Chains A and B, each alone.
Chain A
Amino acid sequence: MALAGNELDGTTDDATVREVARRQRLLSVLARAPGNELLKCWKQTGLDPEVELLRGPESGLVALQGRAGGTGQPFHVGEVSATRVTVRIGSGQVGHAMISGRDTRKAQLVAVIDALAQDPAHADLVEREIVAPLEQLGDEADAKVRRETAATRVNFFTMVRGED
């Protein structure tokens, strides 16, 4: 995840950098989480803030770029469907979400959680009950793929024939 260069030059302090990193992680973890798992975690928190939709949910496309040769000049590989939404919760915080796919309910939930996490009263609960467990779930799923792939790794051996 790259930070936007000029947003974070010398004029901003460490707290801002930390806040951006926190929000970046939250939005990325939630975007990657399966919708049903996200909903499960959300229900466990028992949170039910007042929500005002400021924009969306809106479905659209994001053009996907790759690089020639993997590292060279960028080019468009195609597009991915995406959904974005902006909400304001009762306590005044504004939350944004953009996720791949067309699950408007999930997008809305991500935006609400993003807003709640900016409220010091709920930040810890959101981290403990939603972000951390979903991040762990994602890491476990990745680890499973890696272990399954590792079993298909070729171990070459050399056959020695004849005497010396």
Chain B
Amino acid sequence: MYVAVKGGEAAIANAHRLLAARRRGDANVPGLTLEQIAGQLSLAVDRVMGEGSLYDPELAALAVKQARGDLIEAVFLLRAYRTTLPRFGHSLPMDTGRMLVERRISAIYKDLPGGQLLGPTFDYTHRLLDPALAGDAPVDAPETGEDSNERVMRVSDILGDEGLIEDDPVTDASRPVADITRTPTEYPMGRDARLQTLARGDEGFLLALAYSTQRGYARSHPFVGEIRIGEVDVDVMIPELGFTVVIGRVKLTECQMVNQFQGSAKVPPQFTRGYGLVFGQAERKAMAMSLCDRALRASELGEDIVAPAQDEEFVLSHCDNVQATGFVEHLKLPHYVDFQAELDLVRRMRAEHFANAARAEDEASATDANREAAE
């Protein structure tokens, strides 16, 4: 027999109405506009776009607003939205070498073509709360300098020219690019599927794993070869036209991690690479991604797999926060029938336990009685 339990419609409707009012907060305070969120909480918006895997600052701002600032909920909203849209096609691979650079730093070369460009960074701030920001005091316009017109050369190209770092070649141009949103996951994953998974992975999870590699769990002696942030053109081939056009620009953060040597009888020792590429200004995520990418190359590079960060299936099947939150949070949904069965089971087990205990006691006392009688 199956008995469906119904009810709660009114409670749910009222809960959502209450949610809407709580989301809005004090009605005497002006509501947030999407421009304010996209403009002034832009790194939250960037994170939602990256992990939501959809570049659209206005929609991400809406998601942040609707989720009351709960970024994983916002990511969930964006992911759900993208499933409703058709896909027109794909871009040409974006050329980060031609980025309109807003920030570019290298931890391995002091003087390099294009220079060390700090850009809008939290680095070197004192992390002291600024009471002035509680108000809306005007800020100074940014200082400007002379644009050197120098090409911001990739650090990996500088190292690559001497053969000091492994190549990252196009291994097979004819192979279709993996897409984890279209094909079921299979392990071992190709590096393309892995990078896609990491690019939309949870920042906190990947950060913790990256940290674990630094603390000795899959040590790779990393250096930040280069971090660059800025806008890149999106070129798309338009079939009706027969040529490519730029459909717009996206802001990206790229991290090239340079790691300790690899060599063999055939190949001389050289630095190895880990790569991170993330939507928006998301330096911490891009760095974590590049460290995880490098750790996950263990089997490719013939390293022993000894740490969680090197375990492909562990890392890649748990880094998606929408999947993770879905499974963890489903536990709070009604499990009344499941639990009833468990209750029944545990009651029976307890009854058996007590029955056995009682029998054992009876037998023990009977033995004692016999022994006493014998004495």
Chain A interface (Cβ within 8 Å of chain B)?
1-4, 7, 20, 23-24, 27-28, 31-32, 58-82, 84, 86, 96, 98-102, 142-154, 156
Q: Which residue of B lies closest to A67 (CB)?
A: B93
Pick the contact of A76 from B103, B147, B178 — CB < 8 Å?
B178
CB pair A151–B192 under 8 Å, yes or no, is: no
With A68-B192, A70-B275, A98-B245 already in contact, the answer to whether A152 and B118 are too (CB < 8 A) is yes
CB pair B100–A78 under 8 Å, yes or no, is: no
**Across-interface contacts of A149 in B (CB, < 8 A):** 101-103, 117, 119
Pick the contact of B54 from A73, A80, A146, A148 — CB < 8 Å?
A80
CB pair A76–B179 under 8 Å, yes or no, is: yes
CB pair A99–B275 under 8 Å, yes or no, is: no
**Across-interface contacts of A61 in B (CB, < 8 A):** 54, 82, 85-88
**Across-interface contacts of B247 in A (CB, < 8 A):** 31, 62, 80, 82, 98-100
What are 14 residue pairs bridging A and B, where the CB atoms are less than 8 Å apart in the complex?
Answer: A4-B237, A27-B245, A60-B87, A61-B87, A62-B234, A62-B236, A66-B96, A71-B169, A74-B177, A75-B199, A78-B55, A80-B91, A80-B248, A152-B103
B124-157 interface (Cβ within 8 A of A): 142-148, 154, 156
Any chain A CB within 8 A of the CB of B191? Answer: yes
**Most B CB within 10 A of own CB, among A66, A67, A71, A98:** A66
CB pair A78–B87 under 8 Å, yes or no, is: no
**Across-interface contacts of A80 in B (CB, < 8 A):** 54-56, 91, 234, 247-248, 250
A31 to B86: give the CA distance in the assembly, Å: 20
**Across-interface contacts of B256 in A (CB, < 8 A):** 69-70
**Across-interface contacts of B236 in A (CB, < 8 A):** 62, 82, 98
Pick the contact of B87 from A62, A142, A145, A146 — CB < 8 Å?
A62
CB pair B90–A148 under 8 Å, yes or no, is: no
**Across-interface contacts of A69 in B (CB, < 8 A):** 156, 168, 256, 273, 275
CB pair B103–A31 under 8 Å, yes or no, is: no
CB pair B242–A4 under 8 Å, yes or no, is: yes
CB pair B279–A1 under 8 Å, yes or no, is: no
A67 to B168: give the CA distance in the assembly, Å: 9
A65 to B91: give the CA distance in the assembly, Å: 6
A99 to B235: give the CA distance in the assembly, Å: 10
CB pair B50–A72 under 8 Å, yes or no, is: no
**Across-interface contacts of A150 in B (CB, < 8 A):** 117, 144-148
CB pair B234–A145 under 8 Å, yes or no, is: no
Any chain A CB within 8 A of the CB of B196? Answer: yes
Q: Which residue of B lies closest to A148 (CB)?
A: B142
A143 to B277: give the CA distance in the assembly, Å: 25
**Most B CB within 10 A of own CB, among A67, A81, A149, A151:** A149
B85-114 interface (Cβ within 8 A of A): 85-94, 96-97, 100-103, 110-111
CB pair A76–B245 under 8 Å, yes or no, is: no
Q: Which residue of A lies closest to B147 (CB)?
A: A146
**Across-interface contacts of B102 in A (CB, < 8 A):** 145, 149
A151 to B116: give the CA distance in the assembly, Å: 11
Any chain A CB within 8 A of the CB of B171? Answer: yes
B203-261 interface (Cβ within 8 A of A): 230, 233-238, 240-250, 252, 254, 256
CB pair B156–A70 under 8 Å, yes or no, is: yes
CB pair A60–B143 under 8 Å, yes or no, is: no
Any chain A CB within 8 A of the CB of B269? Answer: no
CB pair B119–A81 under 8 Å, yes or no, is: no
With A60-B86, A61-B85, A79-B82 already in contact, the answer to whether A3 and B244 are too (CB < 8 A) is yes
A62 to B244: give the CA distance in the assembly, Å: 13
Besides A68-B192, A73-B169, A78-B54, 13 other A-B contacts (C-beta < 8 A): A23-B241, A24-B244, A31-B247, A64-B91, A65-B91, A67-B96, A70-B168, A70-B275, A78-B53, A80-B55, A80-B234, A82-B88, A100-B55
Pick the contact of B145 from A66, A73, A78, A151 — CB < 8 Å?
A151
Any chain A CB within 8 A of the CB of B61? Answer: no
Any chain A CB within 8 A of the CB of B200? Answer: yes
With A75-B192, A150-B144, A153-B115 already in contact, the answer to whether A1 and B91 are too (CB < 8 A) is no
Any chain A CB within 8 A of the CB of B373? Answer: no
CB pair B191–A96 under 8 Å, yes or no, is: no
**Across-interface contacts of B59 in A (CB, < 8 A):** 81, 102
CB pair B277–A63 under 8 Å, yes or no, is: no
**Across-interface contacts of B53 in A (CB, < 8 A):** 78-79
